[in-house]
């Protein structure tokens, strides 16, 4: 029987969430949640949503909806904000308590998003949040960058597909499903790092080459990406990803 997960797009309807220069959190979270859900469905998970359009439900309603559905996991997707623009940058995940599979999933999601290029701000306990306190299943809330950070918004917009895949991969890593991926047509590579400083990318590339990993560095949208190999199927890319993880590297599979 496949795992089931409810995906929650933060805010919605009359509640825009954080707003910056006309950009609303509720729009970013809905687009990203639907993209993550599509990937997880393709990988065999049963995916439910608290919303698929711009409607409002209270956090309590969302928690009750998850409980009534009987899903195995709950993942709420948000974007962060700070009092002053461009003060903070990065991703963080929130859990009721740093224990169990929810904590592992939060760490796995953060690690995958770090490989895309975000600063990893870690996992924090937030027992007061309704969607973490009132849900009966393991629950994680991920803040995908700061909506009032130009750096994070550029990363979000230019790497949207990679970010959706990274969140999905974090979930799959926790459930140990990445070893059992079905073949899929296309071209895939495994990203081992993304840096704004080219010297860091070069250092990682040389380190990987010294261990006989076929690493290359490319530059795109202000980021230096270190990737390993090109593979025609997803399971071949996943095999390389497992090798890299065993060697201690944080990775994400990139399509195309």
Catalytic residues: 143
Annotate 135-153 with b (16+ C-beta within 10 A) or e (fewer): bebbbbbbbbbbbbbebbb
Residue among 131, 21, 150 nearest 77 (CA): 131
Q: What is the DSSP string of 144-166?
A: EEETT-HHHHHHHHHTHHHHHHH
| Token representation of residue 90 | 């990065």
Contact 30, 196 (CB under 8 A): no
Tell me whether residue 49 is exposed, middle or buried, using C-beta atoms within 10 angstroms of its C-beta: 0 to 12, 13 to 18, 19 or more.
middle
The strand pairing partners of 47, in sequence order, are 5
């Amino acid at each position: 029987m496949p795992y089931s997960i409810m995906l929650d797009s933060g805010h919605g309807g009359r509640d825009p969430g954080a707003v910056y220069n006309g950009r609303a959190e509720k729009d970013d979270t809905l687009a990203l949640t639907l993209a993550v859900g599509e990937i997880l469905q393709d990988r065999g998970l049963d995916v439910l949503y608290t919303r698929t359009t711009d409607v409002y439900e209270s956090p309590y309603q969302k928690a009750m909806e998850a409980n009534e559905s009987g899903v195995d996991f709950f993942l709420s997707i948000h974007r962060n904000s700070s009092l002053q623009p461009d003060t903070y940058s990065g991703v963080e995940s929130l859990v009721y308590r740093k224990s169990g599979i929810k904590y592992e999933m939060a760490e796995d999601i953060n690690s995958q998003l770090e490989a895309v290029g975000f600063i990893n701000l870690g996992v924090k306990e937030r027992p007061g949040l309704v969607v973490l306190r009132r849900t009966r299943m393991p629950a994680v809330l991920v803040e995908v960058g700061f909506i009032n950070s130009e750096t994070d918004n550029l990363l979000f917009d230019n790497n949207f597909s990679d970010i959706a895949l990274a969140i999905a991969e974090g979930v799959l890593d926790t459930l140990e499903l990445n070893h059992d991926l079905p073949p899929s047509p296309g071209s895939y590579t495994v990203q081992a790092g993304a840096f704004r400083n080219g010297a860091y990318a070069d250092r990682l590339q040389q380190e990987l080459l010294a261990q006989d990993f076929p690493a290359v560095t490319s530059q795109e949208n202000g980021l230096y990406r270190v990737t390993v190999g090109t593979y025609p199927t997803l399971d071949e890319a996943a095999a390389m990803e497992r090798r890299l993880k065993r060697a201690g590297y944080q990775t994400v599979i990139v399509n195309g």
